[in-house]
Structure 1
Amino acid sequence: MNVVVKNYPQLRQLCWNRPSDAVVDGEVALALYERNWRFVRQDEITPDEQALLDMLVAKYGNGHLLVA
């Protein structure tokens, strides 16, 4: 699964050092969310981004978002 970073505002913030047209693998996207969760503005996650995150957690995270 490929994720177009610019379509998801919080993920785009986490990928500030990547090109604006970056595409990442689903596993990489989930790892970015998990590793950098402290920078995610949870109250600003759009419904589309929440749906993506739910799908990533189900597919790659065995149903668990591992954040500290």
Structure 2
Amino acid sequence: MTVKKNLPLSKDEPLLARLGSQITARRKILKVRAQVCAEVAGISRVTLHRIEKGEPTVSIGAYLQVCEALGLYLTLLPGVEQAADTDFPDPEMPHIRIKDYPQLKALSWQLKDDEYLTDAEAKSIYERNKRFLDLKHLEEHERILMQRLIDTRGMERILV
């Protein structure tokens, strides 16, 4: 019997590393210090650090404790990229990874590629920099994201 190995959803970043990045982003958005987050989750600061790095040796229970402490709710969607194109459970939670959207990446050059943004942050970047958008080279998944922001956030109509 052959067992298929589950491949990461992103070619360049394993699933746990992405989850760790989202946990870190959420903690920082909430302005919660790492030590306080660890205490509320009932884990050590070292374990929290390992979770935020996406280490696979940390138990799923510890990941879930941190998610609960930060008000994050895991979904069984295929990936963050697809979730960003559907009705995401909490648009205030960072879930739009900059490097997944080429125009967003170009407009937010000062931010790290692997950072996650909330809908409001992405909307703000697109609106402030709309004069620099290259609509001719806009990829379909980014066009869908922008249309969703227009529909749900009242973003000024920038797609032609």
TM range (shorter): 0.7 to 0.9
Larger radius of gyration: 2
The number of residues matched between the two structures is 65
2:112 paired with 1:40: no
**What per-residue deviation string (whole Å, max 9, x for no partner) do you get for residues 6-63 of structure 1?**
110000001100011111110110111011001111101101000000001111116x
Say whether the 8 Å CA contact 1:57–1:65 is kept in structure 2: yes
Matches of 2:116 and 2:144 in 1, distance apart? 17
Matches of 2:115 and 2:157 in 1, distance apart? 23
Say whether the 8 Å CA contact 1:34–1:65 is kept in structure 2: no
2:157 paired with 1:65: yes
Q: What is residue 21 of structure 1 aligned with on the other side?
A: 114
Q: What is residue 123 of structure 2 aligned with on the other side?
A: 30
Q: Which runs of 4+ in 1 moved over 6 A?
A: none
Please report the RMSD computed on the Cα atoms of aligned residues, expressed in angstroms.
1.4
Matches of 1:8 and 1:35 in 2, distance apart? 16
Aligned residue type for 1:19: K
Normalised to the residue count of structure 2, the TM-score between the two structures is 0.38
Normalised to the residue count of structure 1, the TM-score between the two structures is 0.86
Say whether the 8 Å CA contact 1:6–1:12 is kept in structure 2: yes
What residue ranges of structure 1 are gaps of 5+ in the alignment?
Answer: none
**From 144, 149, 154, the counterpart of 1:51:** 144
Counting aligned pairs with the same residue, the percent is 29
Say whether the 8 Å CA contact 2:97–2:113 is kept in structure 1: no
